[in-house]
Structures are given as C-alpha cells and as structure tokens.
Amino acid sequence: MDDETSDGKRGTSSIVQSSDGKRGTSSIVQSSDANRSIVNRSIVFTEKNFAPRTSHLARIRYLCPMITHEKITIAVDGFASCGKSTLAKDLAKSLQYTFIDSGAMYRAVTLYFLRQEVNIYDTEEVSKALEKISISFRHLEEGELAVTFLNDENVEREIRSKDVSENVSLVAAISKVRRFLVAQQQAMGKEKGIVMDGRDIGTVVFPDAELKLFITAQIDVRTQRRFDELQRKGIEMTRPQIEANLQERDRIDSTRKDSPLKKAEDAIEIDNSALNRAEQLELALSYVKRVTVERLNG
Ligand code: CDP
C-alpha cells in the first residue's frame, strides 16, 4: 500500500510473513522531498500461522492502474552487482513487461573479442569484429527468463566468467561498441513496456524514460550477493577477487569519457543494502504506481 503521512513522508507498507509462520507488517518510509530512499524499516510480527492469502487480490488491485494503463519505460542503473538485474526482472514479471539486461550485451561482445583475440585499441579491427556479432535474448522454455545468445550460441553462463568480468569495462568504454549496442537497445524499447538495467539507460539509452531508478548498495553486501550468485552458477571466484573486480569496474565505468555511469538528474536513488528482494520490489512498484497515477491524472 502507498501512504503519505501527515509530516509529508511517503511510504509503503505490506503484510509479511516470517519463516516460522508469524504475520506482520513491514513499512518503508521515505522523505518525499528527496530523491533518496529508505530509511525506516520496521517489521512487527503479530500472529502465528498466517496463510499467504493476502496477495492475489490485493496485488491485482494494487497493480491495476499499472497493468491496465499505457505501458511505460523503466530505466534501472547503478554500480556493479547491486541487484539491478534482480529488481529489473522482478519488475518486468510483476508488470508483464520485457526485461533487457544491457550488461549481458556488453559481456557478449567482450566474450567474442576475447575468443577472436580482437585488439581493442585498433578501431578498424573492432569495427570489423562488430559486423560479425549478433546478440539476441531467447526463451528456452515458456515462462522461463530469456538467455543471452551470441551468434546462435547460448552464452549465458560463459559471459559471467572471471575472464569476461575482468575485461568487460574496457570493452564497454569503446565508443564504437557503445553505438553498436545502444542502437539495438533503443530499438528493443521502441514499443515501451520495457525494463532495462545497465549504466547509461536513464542518461543515454532512454533519457525520456518515465521512471528512472538508480540503485546503490554497500560494497560488502554487493560482494556477498555476487559471491552467492556465482556459487549457484558453479563459477569459481573468491570474495577478494570479486570485490576487487566490482571496484575496478565501477572506477572504469564512472570515469570513461563516453556515457559514464552516473545518476540521471531525475532518477530516484534506492540504497538496497538493508532490503530483501521482496522489499525492493515493493518499493519500486510504489514508484511505478506513483508515475502511473500521475500520468492517469494528466
Ligand atoms: O551485473 P553487473 O552489475 O556485474 O554488471 P553488468 O550489468 O553485467 O555489466 C557489465 C559491464 O558492462 C559493466 O561493468 C559496464 O562496464 C558495462 N555496461 C555498460 O557500460 N553499460 C551498460 N548499459 C551496461 C553494462
């Protein structure tokens, strides 16, 4: 639920359930005057054995203006491994939008360059290599998330490797590569109803996006999240290696000349260090709802 308090704070509150079956209310309160979030989160458990039956109807009512109204474009930007893709996927699923992981496209180009030993400092070589690259997202099974294909090969796992992670920011700093991928990203978002995550989505790819979110989280939280993710995928990287990679990529991404990572002026910043997946989704949906209602009201 989206509420406004008498002292001008906005917030969301929702029914949550603990692992031992207790029911409670989770509230997230945010100052309405600043583009920064959170900071008061409280969960009060009151009752045992609460069956999670709230959601269906309540959620449909909650989402109704959003899914019935004309679709919007949602840009999700931020630093490495701060949960952008998770949030973007969850938003796309809730709103029945298309999700595009723009980072996967930079990773796929990097994988191709590594395999073909392209000299990234030779612009001719880079241009020729780009002509041979085709990237697509395909659903292997209905209802499953799309995976990344590079020239008809499923590269979803390989693009997350240490080698690709260590080179992707250098490749992403090349203007020719950016022009090549940004054009494709803009074409994918032409019809709206898209959630795209990356570094320059709100600033360059979709500067007119109706909703722009800029995600941040503390470095130790980001490291642990990426460590867990790589473990699940069976990719070996130690915590210190991961932390060093995240910091180095952030440095290159934020300081490159072409489309550096920065918060768009009209983006809403969310620090999700203390939020779980459901809470960050709930908060983001409250912003979607706000934008949608504002548009409905003209
Ligand atoms: O998931 P993670 O935060 O590790 O990064 P990613 O989204 O997979 O992006 C990998 C890299 O691609 C970033 O570190 C950037 O160098 C580059 N990238 C970019 O320059 N612009 C984008 N829109 C998306 C990614």
DSSP states of 80-112? TTSSHHHHHHHHHHHHT-EEEEHHHHHHHHHHH
Site of tokens 């308090």: 5
For domain 59-296, give the CATH number: 3.40.50.300
Question: For strand 23-31 and strand 9-17, is the pairing parallel, antiparallel, or unpaired?
Answer: antiparallel
The residue whose CA has the least distance to atom 19 of ligand 1 is 199
Q: What is the pTM of this model?
A: 0.81
Tell me, using a 6 A CB cutoff, whether residue 199 lines ligand 1. yes
Q: What is the pLDDT of residue 116?
A: 98
- Residue 28's DSSP bridge partners are 12, 41
151 Cα: distance to centroid of ligand 1 (angstroms): 20
Q: Is 169 in the pocket of ligand 1 (CB under 6 A)?
A: yes
Q: Which atom of ligand 1 is nearest to the CA of 77?
A: 23
CA 221 to chain centre: 16
Where are the chain's structural domains?
A: 1-53, 59-296
Instruction: Give 230 Cα–ligand 1 centroid separation in angstroms.
Output: 16
Pocket test for ligand 1, best of 199, 213, 216 (most atoms within 8 A of CB): 199
Ligand 1 centroid–CA 95 distance in Å is 24
Q: For tokens 């989280």, name the residue.
A: 217
What is the chain's pLDDT, residue by residue, as a tens digit (298 residues)? 444 444 444 444 443 444 444 444 444 444 433 343 333 333 333 333 333 344 555 555 566 556 666 899 999 999 999 999 999 999 999 999 999 999 999 999 999 999 999 999 999 999 999 999 999 999 898 878 899 999 999 999 999 999 999 999 999 999 999 999 999 999 999 999 999 999 999 999 999 999 999 999 999 999 999 999 999 989 999 999 999 999 999 999 999 999 999 999 999 999 999 999 999 999 999 999 999 888 888 7
Give the model's pLDDT for residue 24.
43
- How far, in Å, is the centroid of ligand 1 from the Cα of 277? 20
Which residue's CA is the closest to the ligand 1 atom numbered 3? Answer: 80
If residue 241 lies in a helix (H) or strand (E), which one and from where to where?
Answer: helix 239-255
Reference 178, options 91, 73, 257, 72; nearest CA is 257
**Ligand 1 pocket, 87 CB below 6 A?**
no
pLDDT at 141: 87
pLDDT value at position 27? Answer: 43
CB neighbour list of residue 135: distance below 8 Å, 6 or more residues apart: 105, 108, 109, 148, 149, 150, 181, 184
For the chain, where are the E strands, in sequence order?
Answer: 2-4, 9-17, 23-31, 40-47, 73-78, 98-101, 135-138, 147-150, 153-154, 194-198, 211-216, 268-271
Q: Are 215 and 84 in contact (CB under 8 A)?
A: yes
Q: Count CB neighbours of 2 within 10 A.
A: 15
Q: Which of 169, 215, 256, 261 best tests ligand 1's pocket when mutated (most atoms within 8 Å of CB)?
A: 169
Per the CB < 8 A criterion, the answer to whether 258 and 25 are in contact is: no
